[in-house]
Chains A and B, each alone.
Chain A
Amino acid sequence: MSLLVVATYPVEGGAVLEGQVTLSDEGGLTVDGSPVPASQGTSALLAAACQTASHMRMSMPRALVAGDIGRGDGTRAVYKRLAETASRVKPTVVVFHYMQPIMTLLRHALAELADACPNAVLVADAGGMYAAKAAGLARHFELMTPDVNEIGFLADPKVTHPAYVGHYLLGGGDFDPVALARKAYESGGSSRVLLIKGAQDHIIEEGAVAAVVDEPTVPALEAIGGTGDTITGLAAALLTAGLDPVDAAICASRANREAGLAMHATPAMRAVDLVAYLPEVLDTNLERWRGHS
């Protein structure tokens, strides 16, 4: 059972890194021994996945990442290496995360993965999710983790980026994430399972609500960059450990909220603060949550 995260890191011209991810006690992250800066985004996802893997006594996640500050160069470099990496690593779960959402490259990548690791379970968030939806490839994915600002994007077949979906966004009296999730599934814009991150986390299976997680309530988490990424990291690692996708999503949502509560979250804190509390939260709760969600 192995998890491969395909993404970028925020360093201009940063080299392609492929290998095992490690997380130090101080929160430092490395990929194949090279440090990756801590910020919101993929580093938060990887850190949460490491804590989860450690708790589950699994091998650490692997990552295929390259430096990219928005020009798409690192994204292209990563896609170029994907087939070889997937053939060698044979991941059971593959996550596409912060990347330039280039539809043609993702389409090509999925064809390569179908050859290299045909049974791999696919997860997408961030740019990986944007590309999957925009290219009409969302149905290839088992799990996507949009936030409430992104579910309207998945539901609207006409748009290729969340920046174009103003009328679905928060604040409108008719905003209904459940209805949007159903529409997204029916129109082919969503994965089989969705974890919609918000004040209430909705776990959706094939367009219908499977669970709602709204406790504990920690409003400050929305303001902290990377706390959506940590949910994705938790869910992906739990999926790799063999949890059912719905259970993985529910446990990820609960763990993230409990860690936010334990850290006494304020809008000025960081995702690394939350990640530090995950071992304690998982040790205390995960066995109790599994199968009882």
Chain B
Amino acid sequence: MRLFRRKDKSGEPWQEEALGLFLFDEVTDALAAERTLKTSGYQVSLVAPPPHLRAGCDLAIALARLEQVGAQRVLAEAGVHVRDWVDDTEESIRVCDVVTTVDFGQWLMVRAGNMKIVVDRDTGDIVNTSGGGCPDIPYLNLQYVGRRLSDVCRPKDVGFTLCGLMLDRAYLEACALLNQRILE
């Protein structure tokens, strides 16, 4: 029996609630936690942990403190490993949400943060990916180039890092602009 019902909340979680952070050893754990918690109806945000808690390419999840116990149970049930919880979001920073495009005529380039994806407007083919610095980016390049946007899994489901997450944002924007189906 579930002790906590799924929640369906709206509104920006940063405005009124006192927040805390789930910390993770791996970016993939953070991404899995985000997916799991959102599926369960929690409103969460991906952020950089405060400086003294960072190890490098890391990611935390901000959540209303009062929801921590239930959310932690959901993550445990889903097998998502959480390193720690801290009752503080001071000095945490949100992930970049700036997305821009460049029109190359036949081709459209979408930038999200430090990542770029280039697609053929007519065919929906991915003709290039670039940017970033984490090792999943050349791997995603090999997996994606030459395939259609609608035929590939989302970068955040294939990649493992913050760079992969930024490529995911560029991918989603490219799908939206070309009216392409997103493979979930």
Contact = CB atoms under 8 A, between A and B. Distances in A.
Interface of A: 8-10, 12, 37, 39-43, 68-72, 74-75, 98-104, 125-131, 134-135, 147, 149-150, 153, 158-167, 169-171, 219-220, 222-228, 266-268, 270
B21 to A, nearest CB: 14
A265 to B, nearest CB: 11
Contacts, number: 191
Tell me the dominant secondary structure on chain B's binding face: mixed
A158 B116 contact: no
Contact of B145 (A70, A128, A169, A225): A225
Nearest to B161: A70
Interface residues of B, number: 51
Given A160-B48, A162-B113, A69 B129 contact: no
B18 interface: no
Contacts of A130: 56-57, 133-134
Interface of B: 26, 28, 48, 51, 54-58, 91, 93-98, 100, 102, 104, 107, 109, 111, 113-114, 116, 118, 120, 127-139, 141-142, 145, 159-166
27 contacts: A8-B135, A39-B142, A40-B137, A42-B138, A69-B135, A70-B139, A70-B159, A71-B160, A72-B160, A98-B134, A99-B134, A100-B135, A104-B56, A126-B133, A147-B131, A162-B166, A163-B114, A169-B96, A170-B100, A170-B111, A171-B98, A219-B104, A223-B116, A223-B128, A224-B130, A225-B129, A268-B120
Contact of B114 (A149, A158, A167, A225): A149
